[in-house]
Amino acid sequence: MDLQEQPASYRYESGMGAESESPSGFDEQKARNGVRLLLEAIGRNPDEAELYETWNRRVPKMLETLSEGMRDGEKPMLRMFDAESDELIVKTGIPLYSLCEHHLLPFHGSAHVAYRPDEEMVGLSKLVRYVRWRSRRLTTQEELTRDIATGLAAELDANGVLVELTATHMCEAMRGVETQTATTTRETVGNITDVDRRRFRNSIRRDAEQSGGSF
């Protein structure tokens, strides 16, 4: 840490200056100001040497990463190739990490995704990357479930999409509101048959059995 860089008396300047706003649209200077104010709010002095990197670099960088899903420029490329059939394609057990817009705390768990391709499909790893990108935003579990389903339907030009998210919310667990309960949300877009739905459910059940967890 270089103490020389630290201003003697910090000034909460406007963050909208040209040099503080990165090309991605994230306002780093505002994030610095905000983290300093939060530290002050809980009675810590942000000018303590131990906290300098916290507000000056670490938390702003973390926020920039964890809000990538709000910026289309950071959306992963989904390279499509010809689908050999219109069979349902299923990917279960995708790691899910997002931020609750009510408390700015994480919710995490698993995402399960299925789609019925029209003419083209993507590799399963791309579904994982899409879910990760889409989750990096302030949102609610319900809204994220809808966003992933409608977003994938549009990106893949799919005939139908099924999404199920199961997540534990830190804002509940850490405050002792609900310590163990996981919440499940579901969304369907397009034409999905009962057979598709059953296949999706069976895949999720197998995934849960294999991982041995409650997800």
* Binding interface with Zn ion (CB under 5 A): 100, 102-103, 171
For the CB of residue 102, give the shortest distance to Zn ion in the complex, in Å: 4
What is the distance between the alpha carbons of residues 11 and 26, in angstroms, rounded to a whole number? 20
In the bound state with Zn ion, the residue whose beta carbon lies nearer, of 90 and 165, is 165
For the CB of residue 62, give the shortest distance to Zn ion in the complex, in Å: 18
Among 215, 2, 196, smallest CA distance to 109 is for 215
In the bound state with Zn ion, the residue whose beta carbon lies nearer, of 103 and 146, is 103
For the CB of residue 44, give the shortest distance to Zn ion in the complex, in Å: 23
For the CB of residue 100, give the shortest distance to Zn ion in the complex, in Å: 3
Alpha carbons within 13 A on the beta-carbon side of 62: 14
> For residue 202, how many other CB atoms are within 10 A of its CB?
11
Contact 152, 160 (CB under 8 A): no
In the bound state with Zn ion, the residue whose beta carbon lies nearer, of 59 and 100, is 100
Kindly give the interhelix angle for 124-135 and 141-156, rounded to the nearest 10 degrees: 140
Q: Which residue is nearest to Zn ion (CB)?
A: 171
For the CB of residue 168, give the shortest distance to Zn ion in the complex, in Å: 11
Residue type, 114: A
E strands, the chain, where?
81-82, 89-100, 106-116, 120-121, 138-139, 160-169, 183-190
In the bound state with Zn ion, the residue whose beta carbon lies nearer, of 107 and 200, is 107
In the bound state with Zn ion, the residue whose beta carbon lies nearer, of 101 and 157, is 101
